[in-house]
Amino acid sequence: MANIMVVGSYVVDLMSRTPHMPKPGETVLGGPFQMGPGGKGSNQAVAAARQGANVTMVTKVGHDLFGDHAMENFTEESIDTTYVTRHTEEATGTAIITVDDQGENTIVVALGACGKITSTDVQGAEQRLEASDMVLVQLETSMDAIRTTIQLARKHNKPVILNPAPFQQIDDDLLQDVAYITPNETEASLLTGIEVVDESSARKAAKQLIERGVHAVVITLGKQGCFVYDGSDDGTLVKGFPVQAVDTTGAGDAFNGGLATFIAEGMKLAKAVIRANAVAAISVTKTGTAIAMPTMADVEEFLRNTK
Binding site membership: which residues? 11-13, 39-43, 140, 184, 220-225, 247, 249, 252-253, 277, 283, 286, 288
Q: What are the start-end ranges of the E strands in the chain? A: 3-7, 11-17, 33-38, 54-62, 80-87, 93-99, 105-110, 134-138, 160-163, 180-181, 216-220, 226-229, 236-238
Sign of the Cα pseudo-torsion (82, 83, 86, 88, in order): positive
Q: Are 63 and 86 in contact (CB under 8 A)?
A: yes
Q: Are 100 and 30 in contact (CB under 8 A)?
A: no
Asked about 253 being catalytic, the answer comes back as: yes
- For the annotated binding site for substrate, the residues are 11-13, 39-43, 140, 253
Cα separation, 250 vs 56, in Å, equals: 20
- For the annotated binding site for K(+), the residues are 247, 249, 283, 286, 288
End-to-end Cα, the chain, rounded Å: 26
Identify any residues that bridge with 110 across adjacent strands, giving them in sequence order.
94
- For the annotated binding site for ATP, the residues are 184, 220-225, 252-253, 277
User: Which has the closest alpha carbon to 12: 113, 162, 106?
Assistant: 113
Q: Are 284 and 243 in contact (CB under 8 A)?
A: yes
Q: Which of these is catalytic: 80, 177, 230, 253?
A: 253
Catalytic residues: 253
